[in-house]
Each structure stands twice: as structure tokens, then as C-alpha cells.
Structure 1
Amino acid sequence: MGFSNYLIGILNFATIVLSVPIIGGGIWLATKHNTDCVRFLQWPVTIIGIFILLVSIAGFVGGCFRVSSLLWIYLFVMFLLIFLLLCFTVFAFVVTNDGAGHALAGKGFREYRLEDYSTWLQKKVDDAQSWNRIRSCLADAQVCKGLNDEYPTSEAFSSAQLSPLQSGCCKPPFACKFVFENATEWDNSTNPNADPDCILWTNENLCFSCDSCRAGVLQNIKQDWHRIAILNIIMIIFLIAVYSIGCCAFRNARRDGTYSPYGKPYV
């Protein structure tokens, strides 16, 4: 077996190994409560990871066993894979580019506003039926559990490092100026009309019907997508390198007579 065959085999074995974190990323997203409640997120990541794995196996077998027809298919599919992965990564960055938490004076947490996020993301949580399912899932996940014990006083709560979900779903907006009783109970008699979410807050259902809760979900989605997109960028760079070397190695092998037209090596 020539050097080019070894090179293709080694590089594709490395790609097989690197596809595991992509698949693992999709599984990780599926196991998180907030993204499990928004099921459109994890499937593209998992499918791309499995696709990379299968294509890499084809390249590994074609390179090591000198199956030229399989290598032709491998190179063609690899080109499509790089293109699709690039499109998905660009799309992920574009739709999650907008939106960020708003710092509050004297508070350790940030607040999030639905209108700050892209229209595409807003539509994912805007439909009443979809949001009812997401809200029920978040409530079952008990995202507000333990806040009363962890932050028993107003001072402790003000310095709390709340997650986007906790900030958006477990407390009323700061603009409401509600009076703190505990982390999940507030007296709403102070300024109930300062924000539309002030009217939606109740001590029984918290702010799970609020736009701030929707924004908290989208902020978590944004953070998760950015992590996966960075991993995808690393994978794209490596795949381009593998594809380029694979094309050169395959061209050299054909020129040197390593492969016959029928996919079998010349003797």
C-alpha cells in the first residue's frame, strides 16, 4: 500500500474520531432540559455528526483497501458535507447573533427581552401551542427549584448569579418594582403596569407565561448553538484539509497507476 493510501486512511480515521464530539454534542443538547423542550435544536447537530461518521468510514475503507469507486463517492459526498456543514454553521451564527442580557444596576443577574432576538428564533416560542408545551416542560424540569433556600433575603437575591431561565421565568422583571418576599414570591402592588410581563406574573405560576421567560429560553439556545458552531468550525477546517489531501492523493494514485478503472489495484 502506497503512502497516499496510508494518508487517506489515517486522516479519515482521525475524522471518525472527531465526528464523535459532534454526535456527542447533539446527545448533550438532547439531555438538557431547556433544549429538550425545544426539539428543533439537537437533530441537525446529531444528523450531521452521524453523516460525517459514515462518510469518514467510506473514505477509510476506500483508502485502505484501494476501492476507487468508493473513493470517488467519498470525495463527492465529502464536498457536499463540507458545504452543508458550512451553511448550517453560518445559519446558526446568523440566527443567534442578536440578543444579549441587559445588566441591572446593583444586580448580579441580567434580564432578557424577547424583541432582542432574531425573528426566526422568536417564531419558535411565539406560537401559543408550542409555548404551552415548552412551558410545561420547563415547569417539570423545576428550573426554579432551590432558589428560595439559596437566596433567602433580598440582598442575597440581588447578588444572585441567575441563569437566563431563572432570570426570565422565576422572577418578575425588575421594572415592575415588586416587593421581595422570597425568591419566587413577590408583592405585585407597587408598579404592575411598568412592563406587560408584570401583569402576567403570579406567585403560583411565576413568570412562565412572560416574554422574559421566552427570552430566557432563546438565550440558552443561543449559548448552546454558539458552542456547537465553534465545534463545527474546527470540524470544517479539518474536513477541508482532509478533502484537499484526499483529492491530491487520489489524483496521484490514479496517475501512478495505483488504481484500475474497476476499483481494483494493478498488480
Structure 2
Amino acid sequence: MVRISNNLVGILNFVTFLLSIPILGGGIWLAHRSSTECEKFLQGPVIALGVFLMIVSLAGLVGACCRVSWLLWFYLLVMFVLIVLLFCFTIFAFAVTNKGAGEVVSNRGYKEYRLGDYSHWLQKRVSGTKNWNKIKSCLIDGKVCKSLIDDGANNNTLQQFYQKNLSPIQSGCCKPPDDCNFTYVTATNWTTTSNSSADSDCGLWSNDPSVLCFNCGSCKAGVLQNIKHDWKKVAIVNIIFLVFLVIVYSIGCCAFRNNREDNSYNKYPRRYP
């Protein structure tokens, strides 16, 4: 008689296996059509996730439904490691996103962001040339500053622009820092002026749409603010996912015990007088 725990593990892993197919397919599709650094940056993790889910779900499915104890043992081992890693990542995510926030500027609808306000670990992740080039490529491909122009900001007066509710990335990457005191022309076009500002970002600003302030520390800070916001959401989702994984792991342990009992019964059947 098939045990309930084995059926549950089989159903859950069958659903996971079905989910892994479009994920893997999406990664392969990206690999074939990727022409930018951003797309190449995404294809590896997507393919790896798809392959991982497919292998683990197959191990759980076959192990539970076909009573293959060693596959179910492998499945439980991976699940245990995943639970530990997710728990550690959740704690780590809350720790590294505890620092950093936008600076409120008087009479502005947006905030200013400074790289030094964020955790050193996050700063190192974006400050490296290799990593930042990939992130910058994604920002340019995503046309984050073009969306600011499309919103009609280029037709605004200076005071109207100051009242706009810019996203952290738009504030950090699409305009020069307020400390530079540049002369406003349009949302992404500013006339540089000589000033005594110690902000090194002022010298990095360019009206070239492909440059703007993408090399500025404020742009990196804007990205980190987005990461901080997203990581906190992910950490909350992880807590819910961890509870789910623990429940699945417990069911899997019952299925593994059932397999061992059945295998033991088949190997040493009871003899009646």
C-alpha cells in the first residue's frame, strides 16, 4: 500500500519538475539570443536554477514513487542543505541591508543617495569594475533614464523637476547630485559650472545619454537602495518558504522511513507458523 507521505512528496516534486521546464527553457533561450552583457549576466543563474530544480525534483519523485531509498536520501540531503543556506541567507540579508537610506533634501520630491552610507559588503559588490559594467549594461538596456524623459520631465521647469518623485536609480544615475549646483536645461541635460563641491561625482557627469551619471557613486548607491529594498522583500518571502521547506522535509523523512520499512519487509518477510 502506497503511503500518504510518499504520494505527497511525489505530487510536490512533480509540480516542481513542471516548473523547472519553463525556467530552464528561458535560460536556454537567453543563451541563444543574448547580445548584451545584461542578458549574458542573467542566463547563467537561470539555467543553473532550472537544472537544479529538475534534478532535485526528479530525485524526490522517483525516490518517493518508485521506493528508491538512496534517491530519496539524496533528495533529503539537498533539502536539508537548502534549508540551512536559506536560513543563513535570510539572516545575512537582514544584516547587510540594515544600513543605508536616502537623504532627504529640502524642497525636493526625491532623495539623494551616497555610496558610503551602505554596508561595506554591498559596496564592494557594486564597486568592482567587472560587476559594475554588467549592472550598468542592465541599467542602460532597461532605459531607466529614457523612461524619465518619456514621463514628460524634459518639459518641466526646474521647480517642477525638483518636485518629481524619482526612483533611487533615476535620482542617482539620471541627474547630477544636487551638491554640484549645475544649471538645469532638461531632466537629463545640465550645464556644468565651476564649483567648490568636494563630490567627485560632479566630474563624472556627462550629458551623453549613454554616460549621464552611470559611473557615479550616487548611481551605485541608487542601485544598492533598490537591492536593499528587494532583499528585504526576498528575506520575508524566504521565511515563508523556509516554513514550507521544513514541512516538505518532514514529509520526505516520513516517506524515507516508509521506504526503509518496506524494503526491510521485502528482504525479510514475516514467516507464520
Q: TM-score range by the shorter chain?
A: 0.7 to 0.9
What residue is the counterpart of 1:110 in the other structure?
Answer: 111
What residue is the counterpart of 2:184 in the other structure?
Answer: 180
Q: In 2, distance between residues paired with 1:88 and 1:46?
A: 21
What residue is the counterpart of 1:193 in the other structure?
Answer: 197
CA shift in 2, pair 1:37/1:119, >3 Å: farther
Structure 1 residues without counterparts, runs of 5 or longer: none
3-state DSSP class of the match of 1:36? helix
Quote the offset at 1:246 in angstroms: 2.0
Q: Contact conserved, 2:177 with 2:202, CA < 8 A, in 1?
A: yes
Quote the offset at 1:25 in angstroms: 11
What residue is the counterpart of 2:227 in the other structure?
Answer: 221
Letter in 2 for 1:71: L
Structure 2 residues without counterparts, runs of 5 or longer: 32-36
What residue is the counterpart of 1:246 in the other structure?
Answer: 252
Letter in 2 for 1:88: F
Matches within 5 A, 1:195-210: 195-204=199-208, 205-210=211-216
CA shift in 2, pair 1:146/1:3, >3 Å: closer
Deviates more, 1:100-109 or 1:198-207: 198-207
3-state DSSP class of the match of 2:172? helix
Q: TM-score, normalised by structure 1?
A: 0.76
What residue is the counterpart of 2:163 in the other structure?
Answer: 159
Quote the offset at 1:209 in angstroms: 2.6
1:157-192 deviation per Cα after TM superposition (whole angstroms, max 9, x unaligned): 122222222111111112233332211122333745
What residue is the counterpart of 1:94 in the other structure?
Answer: 95
Matches within 5 A, 1:1-267: 1-13=2-14, 16=17, 36=38, 39=41, 47=48, 50-128=51-129, 130-132=131-133, 134-135=135-136, 138-148=139-149, 150-151=152-153, 152=155, 153-189=157-193, 191-193=195-197, 195-204=199-208, 205-252=211-258, 254=260, 257-260=261-264
Quote the offset at 1:213 in angstroms: 1.2
CA shift in 2, pair 1:134/1:13, >3 Å: closer
Q: In 1, distance between residues paired with 2:9 and 2:148?
A: 54
Deviates more, 1:3-12 or 1:77-86: 3-12
Quote the offset at 1:232 in angstroms: 3.1
Q: Contact conserved, 1:179 with 1:190, CA < 8 A, in 2?
A: no
Q: In 2, distance between residues paired with 1:247 and 1:111?
A: 51
Letter in 2 for 1:158: Y
Q: In 2, distance between residues paired with 1:38 and 1:230?
A: 29
CA shift in 2, pair 1:265/1:7, >3 Å: farther
1:213-250 deviation per Cα after TM superposition (whole angstroms, max 9, x unaligned): 12122223333433444333332221111111221343
Q: Contact conserved, 1:75 with 1:243, CA < 8 A, in 2?
A: yes
Quote the offset at 1:137 in angstroms: 5.3
CA shift in 2, pair 1:260/1:217, >3 Å: same
Letter in 2 for 1:195: D
Q: Contact conserved, 2:171 with 2:222, CA < 8 A, in 1?
A: yes
Quote the offset at 1:62 in angstroms: 1.4
CA shift in 2, pair 1:53/1:211, >3 Å: same
Q: TM-score, normalised by structure 2?
A: 0.75
- Percent identity of paired positions between Structure 1 and Structure 2: 57
Q: Contact conserved, 2:69 with 2:259, CA < 8 A, in 1?
A: no
Q: How many residues align?
A: 259
Note the aligned Cα RMSD (angstroms): 4.0
